[in-house]
């Protein structure tokens, strides 16, 4: 039994996997982050639904980012706590791989660019390639300020762009958007981690020292509350 957590975006998601099958899943998202209030409740709902106790888990897998600083901290700290309490391994997978890869197609050498909103005109992006029955990254995760000249190497390959901000990317690419195929806006989700498990993307982590992959330094926003 593997409990999967993905909290890098405004989508807070949980799934329970057994022998490559999703036994149950939950996800919630909104304009504001609900992770702090809802993650533990979602975990309880998924486990209770299957009659599984935390002690029955064989491992916990968490999306390591990039994404929201707050979301990642909550997800990773929760995963660590569960692993420590149950004495089970901690695994991680890249958040930019936690999309429904079954929708990407099965053609050899197909290209997918996964994106996550990084505010304003910026996205976190990674390029994936289909080969030998599975998807593998062909670039490192990068932070991209999107404009008409973005993703030039992938234009002529008819790449598919997937993520939680595809509509924003399409708009910013302008006329060059016609070179790409766009999936509807969709958040990364824990229920799609099964495609990454038992692959080169799954990493075993040290419960004590593992840190999320933020990519960018945390920037605090000025509070809008009026204290006086």
Cα 90 to chain centroid distance, Å, stands at 16
**Backbone phi, psi, residue 210, to 5°:** -65, 135
| Helical residues (DSSP H) of the chain, grouped into ranges | 35-50, 69-86, 166-173
pLDDT grade for 222, boundaries at 50, 70 and 90: very low
pLDDT grade for 108, boundaries at 50, 70 and 90: confident
CB atoms within 10 A of CB 156: 8
Please compute the mean of the pLDDT values over residues 90-101 and round it to a whole number.
96
Please give the domain boundaries of the chain with CATH numbers for all domains.
Answer: 2-96+188-205 (3.30.420.40), 100-182 (3.30.420.200)
Q: Taking each helix axis from N to C terminus, what angle separates 35-50 and 69-86, rounded to the nearest 10 degrees?
A: 40
Question: Is cis: bond before 66, omega within 30 of 0?
Answer: yes
Three-state secondary-structure class, residue 144: strand
pLDDT at position 183 over 60: yes
Q: What is the CA radius of gyration of the chain?
A: 18
Query: Comparing 47-56, 106-115, 117-126, 217-226, which segment has the lowest mean pLDDT?
Result: 217-226
pLDDT tens digits along 157-177 = 999 999 999 999 999 999 999
For residue 25, list its beta bridge partners.
15
pTM: 0.92
């Amino acid at each position: 039994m593997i409990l999967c957590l993905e909290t890098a975006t405004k989508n807070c998601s949980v799934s329970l996997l057994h022998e490559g099958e999703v036994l149950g899943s939950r996800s919630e998202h909104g304009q504001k982050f609900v992770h702090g209030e809802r993650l533990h409740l979602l975990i309880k709902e998924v486990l209770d639904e299957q009659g599984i106790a935390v002690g029955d888990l064989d491992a916990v897998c968490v999306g390591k980012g990039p994404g929201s600083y707050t979301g990642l901290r909550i997800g990773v700290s929760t995963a660590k706590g569960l692993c420590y309490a149950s004495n089970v391994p901690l695994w991680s997978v890249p958040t930019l791989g936690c999309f429904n890869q079954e929708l990407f197609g099965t053609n050899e050498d197909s290209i997918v660019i996964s994106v996550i909103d990084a505010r304003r005109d910026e996205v976190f992006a990674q390029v994936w390639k289909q080969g030998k029955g599975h998807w593998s990254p062909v670039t490192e995760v990068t932070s991209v300020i999107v404009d008409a000249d973005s993703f030039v190497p992938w234009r002529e390959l008819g790449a598919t762009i997937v993520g939680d901000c595809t509509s924003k990317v399409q708009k910013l690419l302008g006329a060059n958007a016609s070179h790409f195929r766009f999936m509807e806006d969709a958040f990364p989700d824990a229920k799609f981690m099964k495609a990454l498990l038992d692959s080169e993307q799954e990493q075993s982590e040290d419960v004590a020292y593992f840190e999320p992959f933020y990519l960018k330094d945390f920037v605090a926003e000025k509070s809008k509350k009026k204290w006086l």
